[in-house]
Amino acid sequence: MKKSAFLGTLTVAGLAAGMVSAATLDDVKARGELNCGVSTGLTGFSLPDANGVWSGFDVAICRAVAAAVLGDATKVKFVPTTGQTRFTALASGEVDMLARNSTWTFSRDTDLKLDFVGVNYYDGQGFMVRKDLGVTSAKELEGATICIQTGTTTELNLADWFKTNNLNYTPVAIETNAEGEQQYAAGACDAYTTDASGLASTRASFADPENHIILPEIISKEPLGPAVRHGDNQWADIVRWTLNALIAAEEYGVTSANMEELAANSPNPEVKRLLGAEGDLGVMTGLDKDWAKRAIGVAGNYGEIFAATIGEATPIGLARGLNAQWTQGGLLYAPPFR
């Protein structure tokens, strides 16, 4: 009673977002909108444009889930979260899922009561230095001053790596990527370390990208993936298999352009199952048959999304690398749709 009474006040305020029950799917459907936690602005992954329309690699996952569940990729409320507020926002039910370049780690998965449902980007921590420093390997960074963003796993990795390699360093803590770029560009630190994807986009934004190199060492594993609340397996399944559907679609050559045609007359039964032309996989998750078709229809399969947001044709210019399909020597490997 108290709960509804309290909410009565908030209804009046016109701002109430409702309550969280155990079944996130029901909440999302009732609300008619998916609340998706994203980063406050990270080039290529999630950023609002001049009109406040969010776009990016992480954002595309949110939109795909919204399309799969609600049938409309625009029915997403993007909630910007900081490194500190992201997990609380998810745990408290403020957001239904988190697509915010968060590293999947043991303690986050268990102690923080999150469930990482997969990996949408395999990243790793790297170093960028000025060319005239004459350094070609991170092992030569003895005594270097290193700019590092606080509150992330990167500072733990850095401490660990320098310890195992018996090197000394001076950390210069940085609050946001923008400050880090400014500090590094002004020469306040010898090296800048963050996820390799971030380094690439930072380097691309410099006036003189040719004077900076990214060192070959990748000192950590950073599997970035969407996360949901612990304990709601149905919802976790939906997000997990939406991601898998995007990855599998690329593997089977299903694109947003040819998907209708393939659904009708693909010789591959797995493609037909994926696109809902055969069997009813979607119904098992609590959705309908066409869920994956809608998810792929938003911005295409994984490869299309990658190419449009962070791929080599964009200013960020990331190569597929580890994020290629397993058939191409990468790590992307969607379980069978059966």
Partner 1 sequence: MSDTHAQTVPFVRDTMLPQANPPTTEAGAVRWMRENLLSGPLNVILTLLAIAAIYWVVQGMLPWLLASVWNAGSIAECRQIIADAGRESGACWAVIRERWPQFLFGFYPNHLYWRPVTALLLLFVALAPVLFSKAPRQLLWFSAIYPGLAFWLLWGGSVFVPVVALLGLALGWAAFHFGQRISPLAGVVAAILLPVLWWLFLAGPVAEDLGNLLPRSMPWWMEEVRSDKFGGFVLALTIGVSGIALSLPLGIVLALGRQSDMFLIKSLSVCFIEFIRGVPLITLLFTASLLLNYFLPPGTTFDIILRVIIMVTLFAAAYIAEVIRGGLAALPRGQYEAADALGLDYFRAQRLIILPQALKISIPGIVSTFIGMFKDTTLVVFVGLLDPLKGITDAVRASPDWKGIYWEPYIFVGAIFFIFNFSMSRYSMYLERKLKTDHR
Partner 2 sequence: MANVADVPKPSFRLSMLLYDTRYRSLTIQIVVFLLVMAGAAWLVDNTIRNLQALGKDFNFSFLGARAGYDISQRLVEYTNDSTHGRALLIGLLNTLLVAFLGCIAATVIGVLVGVLRLSKNWLIARLMTVYVEIFRNIPLLLWILLIYAVFTEAAPAPNAFRVNAETGEAATSMFLDAFAVTNRYTAIPNPVFGLDLGWLNIGLFYVSVDFLLLVAAIVVGFFLNRMALRRATRIQEATGDRPTTWWQSLLLLVGIPVAALIAMGFHFEFPELKGFNFTGGLNVSNSFMALWLALSLYTGAFIAEIVRAGVLAISKGQSEAAFALGLRPARTMNLVILPQALRVIIPPLISQYLNLTKNSSLAIAVGYLDLRGTLGGITLNQTGRELECVLLMMLIYLTISLIISGLMNVYNASVKLKER
Task: Name the segment binding partner 1 (CB under 8 A); options: 197-205, 222-230, 261-269, 318-326.
Answer: 197-205
- Interaction of residue 5 with partner 1, rule CB under 8 A: yes
Relative to beta strand 212-214, strand 125-130 is antiparallel
Residue 313 contacts partner 1 per CB under 8 A = no
Are the CB atoms for 224 and 154 separated by under 8 Å? Answer: no
- Tell me if 48 contacts partner 1 by CB under 8 A: yes
Neighbours of 15 (CB within 10 A): 7
Check residue 11 for interaction with partner 1 (CB under 8 A).
yes
Q: Which residue from 272, 96, 128 is spatially nearest to 213, judged by alpha carbons?
A: 128
Options 44-52, 180-188, 265-273, 319-327: segment touching partner 2 (CB under 8 A): 180-188
Stretch that binds partner 2, among 72-80, 174-182, 203-211, 306-314 (CB under 8 A): 174-182
Q: Looking at 150, 165, 233, 268, which residue binds partner 2 (CB under 8 A)?
A: 150
Q: How far is the CB of 127 from partner 1 (least distance, A)?
A: 19
143 binds partner 2 (CB under 8 A): yes
Whole-angstrom distance, CA of residue 80 vs CA of residue 86: 8
Instruction: Find, among 302, 316, 299, 291, the residue nearest to 198 by Cα.
Output: 316
CB of 178 to partner 1, least distance (A): 5
- Identify the H or E element spanning 157: helix 154-164
| Residue 49's binding partner out of partner 2, partner 1, none, with CB under 5 to 8 Å set by partner kind | partner 1
Confirm or reject binding of residue 181 to partner 1 (CB under 8 A): yes
Distance CA 38, CA 226 (A): 10
How many other CB atoms sit within 10 Å of the CB of residue 279?
15
In the set 28, 34, 44, 200, which binds partner 1 (CB under 8 A)? 44
Task: Say how many Å lie between the first and final Cα of the chain, rounded.
Answer: 45
Does residue number 80 form part of the binding site for partner 1 (CB under 8 A)? yes
The owner of tokens 């039964």 is: 269
Contact 154, 191 (CB under 8 A): no
Q: Rule CB under 8 A: is residue 158 a binding residue for partner 2?
A: yes
* 131 belongs to the binding site for partner 2 (CB under 8 A): no
Answer for the pair 285, 24: CB distance below 8 angstroms, yes or no: no
Residue number with CB closer to partner 1 (1 or 107):
1
Q: Are 164 and 190 contacting, i.e. CB atoms less than 8 angstroms apart?
A: no
* Binding footprint of partner 2 on the chain (CB under 8 A): 2, 83-84, 87-88, 91, 107-108, 111-113, 143, 145, 150-152, 155-156, 158-160, 163, 169-175, 179, 182-183, 186-189, 230
